[in-house]
Every structure is written in structure tokens, then in C-alpha cells.
Structure 1
């Protein structure tokens, strides 16, 4: 092994400790409010860009497994959003242009917005009904594009960092664990059995 190569175990433990720090700092009130929004929504839509979007898709799938009517924004079978619906946005910066615009549309349509972010004082944070803060990010620098696709094409994707565990990576990992914890809580509230959940797993792929 090269002398300057980090131990994979040490890297994993370092990342795990960062996620633990993030988990311990979560507001229980924010988490409870988010849970209430999920339970009271007519339908639940999830949105996010890049890896945050993948976390959102996983959350939407797990909600479906619990019997919720959930959709991913942008999919061909996603129905029209309306009053009484909840949009769950995953965005570390809270400034990604496509996600901001989707949240603004949801607000104008009379729906509610729940934001999972590391930057509560962001454009989405200012219009969200509920915000769950994971970690602590600074806002995007003025010279960094807010369009996710532009950042990818120009090499300015914020997770590309020289740090051992970039803050954005920690956010995405923490967001996935947080969303799984919410699913576990919902299983308890709705008294979902594993057999009931397994009955909704995909069987044609």
C-alpha cells in the first residue's frame, strides 16, 4: 500500500463519526414536525438533484412500501401536484435552481414543503413549512452556478473536494440515514408488519 494512502477502515470510521455528530445535533422538534407532515399529507412527492436526488428516490420508494401514495418529481407517471400534497425536498445547499423552482411551484399550487438540508437560511428554507437541518453548510459561493447540470459539466460539483470527507458527502449520507429512521418511526406509528411491506416490493424488474 502506498505510504500516502489513507486506511480504508480509518476513512470509514471518520465518516461514521461525522455522521454521528450530525445525527446528535438534529432537532427533535424538527424531526417530529417532519413526521407529522408525512402523516397528514394527502400525497407525498420527493425532489432532489444529483446524489441528494437518489436519497429522495429511495425515500419515496420506502414510503410506497409502507402504503403511502408517494411520487418522484420528474417521473412520467407522477400525477399533478395539488393542495393538501407535500413536497419533500432534499438539498444540502437549499439553492439548487431546479429544486428551488419546483418548491416555488408547489407553494403556488397550495401544497406544503418539507426541506431536508444543511443550509436552513437558503432560498428553499425561506419558503419551506418544515425544515430539518442536517449539519452546517455555507451557502454556495457567488461564482458557483446554482444549476446542478451546469456544475456537473463545468467540474464545479460541490462534492468534489480535497477534504477527506466532504461536507456534501456527509449530508447525503446523513440524509439517507435520517430518512430510514423516519421510515422506521412510520412503521411503528402505522403498525406495519414486515409481511405487509414485503407484499409491496417490486416483483417485475
Structure 2
């Protein structure tokens, strides 16, 4: 089995994320940012690795001065009508997530979904959906795509078990925070002031 440099694998992932970014809708992003800015309280959730991305996003929203919570944490308060719940789910089909989202909808929560499957049951009840591709996309550099196939084999994924969605979602969420900083004219020093100081 061939051995490959970690740095090369990073560059291949970066090229895929670059292609994914080119296909994200400006309208979807604008609608999502509008929901975030208009929300009094933001709840964020996801399962597995998507849940870790969700936690990181919730933390950055808090640093930005927004009221944010992670669904499932012991100190998370009850959802109320009008609260926003941001769901990260590549498939949009995770049963435990669907059940929570349906309950949130019944309470009167507004659902935002970051996904690769906007036609999922969650997507159908979301007020805002941002689609992040989770499959082989058009790569601007065809020679790099050829190198990928040569290195890894035609049918072998270099980013196993949804890694590319989660990595792209993490990058997207960080970029959203950067955009929110611009809109709210928040300085990085303000974020540092809200960073944990008793760890």
C-alpha cells in the first residue's frame, strides 16, 4: 500500500473545500445570517462529529456576544417560541436529531439546517437551509484531481465517513462568524474578553 504525505492530503482536502465554497448559495447564506442576527437565543446541535462542529460554532457565537446553547448539555435552558435552533447534519436523516427538531418545531422554534441533503425531513421544516456538498464535486485543478485518483484509487475516499462535510461545515461556520464580526462591527479584542478564563 502506498504511503502519502499528510501535507498532501491536507492540500487535497483544501482543494475540495474550495470547490464546495464555490457552490454555496449567496441567498442561503444571507438568509441564515439574517436568522442568526434576529434571534434572541440560538441553540446549536448535531450528532457525532457534526455535534463537535456544532459545539465549536456555539462557542464562537457566545464569543461574539450572542446568547447560544448546545442542545443536550445539562445547563441548556428550555427552548421557547421564537428561539432559533441550528442543526448540522450531513444526511439530514439522523433519527435522534429529527425527533428533537420536530419537538422544537412544535414548541415554536425556528429551524436552520446546514446539510448536504436539503430535501430531507429536517430540510422540509427548516426556515433556512444552507447546502454544503458532500460528494465529489468539480475540481478547478484537473491535474490535482488526476493526482488524487492516482494516489488513492478511483473508488477510495481520502476523507472517510463524512469527514469532508464536517470539515467544510467547520470552515463555513468560522467564515459566518467572521462575517458576523463585520456586520456587528465587533473587534477581536471583544471576543477575547468573553473567552474562558478559568480553564
CA RMSD across the alignment: 1.5
- 1:7 Cα shift? 2.6
Aligned mate of 1:127, from 125, 128, 142: 125
Match of 2:140 in 1: none
Q: Structure 1 136/121 Cα, relative in aligned 2: closer, same or farther at 3 Å?
A: farther
* 1:102-149 CA distance string (max 9 Å, x none): 111110001100000011111111111110000046xxxxxxxxxxxx
**Distance (whole Å) between structure 2 residues aligned to residue 49 and residue 80 of structure 1:** 19
Match of 2:141 in 1: none
State the secondary structure of the residue aligned to 1:87.
strand
Q: Does 1:68 align with 2:66?
A: yes
Q: Does 1:195 align with 2:189?
A: yes
Structure 1 unaligned blocks of 5 or more: 138-160
**Distance (whole Å) between structure 2 residues aligned to residue 18 and residue 101 of structure 1:** 32
Match of 1:50 in 2: 48
Aligned mate of 2:179, from 181, 185, 200: 185
- 1:6 Cα shift? 2.1
- 1:77 Cα shift? 0.8
Q: Does 1:173 align with 2:173?
A: no
State the secondary structure of the residue aligned to 2:65.
coil
- 1:194 Cα shift? 1.8
State the secondary structure of the residue aligned to 1:46.
strand
State the secondary structure of the residue aligned to 1:76.
coil
State the secondary structure of the residue aligned to 1:115.
strand
2:134 and 2:164 in contact (8 A); partners too: no
- 1:165 Cα shift? 2.2
**Distance (whole Å) between structure 1 residues aligned to residue 161 and residue 33 of structure 2:** 25
Match of 2:99 in 1: 101
- 1:167 Cα shift? 6.8
State the secondary structure of the residue aligned to 1:90.
strand
**Distance (whole Å) between structure 2 residues aligned to residue 32 and residue 166 of structure 1:** 30
State the secondary structure of the residue aligned to 2:100.
helix
**Distance (whole Å) between structure 1 residues aligned to residue 157 and residue 94 of structure 2:** 22
2:36 and 2:42 in contact (8 A); partners too: yes
State the secondary structure of the residue aligned to 1:166.
coil
Q: Does 1:78 align with 2:76?
A: yes
